[in-house]
Structure 1
Amino acid sequence: MKLFVTGASGWVGSAVVPELLAAGHQVVGLARSEKSADALWNQGAVVHRGDLEDLDSLRSGAKDADGVIHLAFHHDFENFVNAGELDRQAITALGETLEGSGRPLVVTSGTAGHAVGHILVEDQPANPQSPRLSESAALAFTDRGVRVSIMRLAPSVHGTGDYGFVPTLINVARDKGVSAYVGDGANRWSTVHRDDAAALFRLAAEGAPTGTVLHAIGEEGVATRDIAEAIGRNLDVPVTSVAPEQAMDHFGWIGAFFSLDIPASSAVTRQKFDWQPQGIGLLDDLEANYF
């Protein structure tokens, strides 16, 4: 298939592209900068210039493709409502372009916030109060001739070169001179290795039935205290608890996420798609590759 990939040069996208190419697919990657364009070209992808705000560039990329994998998202946590609306508009433009064709549209979402304090499963609907509108925007096209699937990513998509949530926690620990967790640190984060997530994106594009929700989850839940202790051990700084009401002051914007208990299961995804994560777990990855 010829697949149009947004966010193709991002953290997850830069693993999805070689996964698709290795499976014999052609990749057209959205690039908004020369650096991104060069990275995609060097991987063997065709470069399509544009960004999420340029809806015409999204439409033209989707029009000429056999399917779309939508990974791009503006992770502006200080203006998350605006980021969610931009994503909704992008998904709508992609869906309208694919309408009536039966072509796949794989849309990226996350597991955080949908079932706080409980293990999130694939058939649990997205939280209607979430400012991220990815799932509702995409699922609106399931009865409009688009093979829509939703890929929920774990809050920690880890691997060598990670610059996401866990490296942010490491930087906070460096700056503060202490590695902290919130409360008793029993709240959990699900995790997935980036390469395992990339393989699941390919499987979704190749054959996920319309309306399918997939969970890219390698580990159901790692205690945040264990994450903090691994960071403290490797930085040789003390490990301590921060009261929930002080989390935002200590951690900044990531405090809201690090306070959440957000485990998730991928049992249904594994069974339906014969997907078996092979990457090492987050704590082992921390020890081996993050310092």
Structure 2
Amino acid sequence: MKVFVTGATGFVGSFIVRELISGGHEVAGLSRSESGAEALIRAGAKVVRGDVNDLHGLREAAGAADAVVHTAFDHSAADMKLHSENDRKVIAALGAALAGTDRPLIVTSGTGLVRSADGGPVRETDPHATSAVFPRAASEEAADALIAAGANVIVMRLPQVHDTRRQGRISWHIQVAEEQGRVAYVGEGRNRVPAVHVTDAARLYRLALERGEAGARYHAVAEEGVALREIAEAIGTGLDLPVESITAEQAPEYFGWLAELAQLDLPASGASTRQRLDWEPGGPDLLTDLRAAESDVA
């Protein structure tokens, strides 16, 4: 297939590009910089020059492809609502380019937006929050609208994606620890985050593209939940900093804007995804990568 990938020069997207090419697909990746374009060419991909918010350019690139994988998103904490609403527009534009065909569009979301029906790890069939509650859910709402219109849309929900260079949300915990000179977790630190190695996530995108069902939600979850206390201890070892428990009242002073998120228990299951797409994660776990981190924790 000829696959157009947004976010193709980003952390997850760059691995997806290489995975798709190794799987025999022809990839065109979006890049707004010369360095990004050079990286895509080295990987064996074609380059679509432009910005993800250039909706006309996106429609043209998507219209020339057999499939689209959308991973681009501005994850900066500032103005998350604006970034999320921009993503809603991007997904609508990509969907419009594929309207009336069976060509698939994979939309990227997160397991943290999902609400468990029974209090256990969130599953693929559990509903996502609304954008009124979590702005990032605008992406799933945009996917819902396209699915309702009959488009071949698949939602890929990511947990914390990691390798030894990047650890997703945990990178913010590392930054806070460096600034504070200590590593903290709240209470007993039993609250959890799910995780997956970036190579396993990239392989799942390829499998979803090749075997996925229209309208499906998949969870790229290798570990259902890693306790925040264990994460803090791994960070402390890597940074040679003391590790301690703090109270919920002390969390805002230590974590800042991250305080509420640092206290949530967010386990997620990928059992159905593994069965439906014959996906078996094999990469290192989150704690192993944290202990072997090359730059953020070293």
> TM-score, normalised on structure 1?
0.95
| In 2: Cα distance, 1:110 partner to 1:28 partner | 24
Q: Shift of residue 18 of structure 1?
A: 0.4
Secondary structure at the counterpart of residue 37 of structure 1: helix
Contact 1:5 / 1:30 at 8 angstroms: preserved in 2?
Answer: yes
| In 1: Cα distance, 2:78 partner to 2:260 partner | 12
The count of residues paired between Structure 1 and Structure 2 equals 290
Q: Shift of residue 174 of structure 1?
A: 1.8
* 103-112 or 160-169: bigger deviation: 160-169
Equivalent residue number for residue 167 of structure 1? 171
Are 2:177 and 1:177 equivalent residues in the alignment? no
Q: 1:34/1:255 Cα in 2 relative to 1: closer, same or farther (>3 Å)?
A: farther
| In 1: Cα distance, 2:11 partner to 2:167 partner | 8
Letter in 2 for 1:231: I
Q: Shift of residue 177 of structure 1?
A: 1.2
Secondary structure at the counterpart of residue 142 of structure 1: helix
Match of 2:240 among 236, 241, 244: 236
Contact 1:115 / 1:262 at 8 angstroms: preserved in 2?
Answer: no
| In 2: Cα distance, 1:166 partner to 1:15 partner | 19
Secondary structure at the counterpart of residue 230 of structure 1: helix
| In 1: Cα distance, 2:166 partner to 2:219 partner | 20
Equivalent residue number for residue 218 of structure 2? 214
Are 2:27 and 1:22 equivalent residues in the alignment? no
Equivalent residue number for residue 72 of structure 1? 72
Q: 1:256/1:44 Cα in 2 relative to 1: closer, same or farther (>3 Å)?
A: farther
Deviations 1:125-158 (A, max 9, x none): 111232121112012222434211000000x211
Secondary structure at the counterpart of residue 260 of structure 2: helix
- Deviant stretches of 4+, over 6 Å: none
Contact 1:84 / 1:134 at 8 angstroms: preserved in 2?
Answer: yes
Q: 1:99/1:63 Cα in 2 relative to 1: closer, same or farther (>3 Å)?
A: same
| In 1: Cα distance, 2:67 partner to 2:113 partner | 29
* 159-168 or 203-212: bigger deviation: 159-168
Match of 1:146 among 151, 156, 166: 151
| In 1: Cα distance, 2:155 partner to 2:235 partner | 32
Q: Shift of residue 104 of structure 1?
A: 0.4
Letter in 1 for 2:158: L
1:38-57 alignment runs, 5 A limit: 38-57=38-57
Letter in 2 for 1:124: D
Equivalent residue number for residue 32 of structure 2? 32
| In 1: Cα distance, 2:181 partner to 2:288 partner | 23
| In 1: Cα distance, 2:34 partner to 2:255 partner | 33
Q: Shift of residue 163 of structure 1?
A: 5.8
Secondary structure at the counterpart of residue 15 of structure 1: helix
Q: Shift of residue 160 of structure 1?
A: 2.5
Match of 1:287 among 268, 288, 291: 291
Name stretches of at least 5 consecutive residues in structure 2 with no aligned partner: none
Secondary structure at the counterpart of residue 140 of structure 1: helix
Identity rate, percent: 50
| In 2: Cα distance, 1:82 partner to 1:115 partner | 23
Question: C-alpha root-mean-square deviation of aligned residues, in Å?
Answer: 1.5
Letter in 1 for 2:149: R
Contact 2:161 / 2:167 at 8 angstroms: preserved in 1?
Answer: no
* 42-51 or 210-219: bigger deviation: 42-51
Equivalent residue number for residue 13 of structure 2? 13
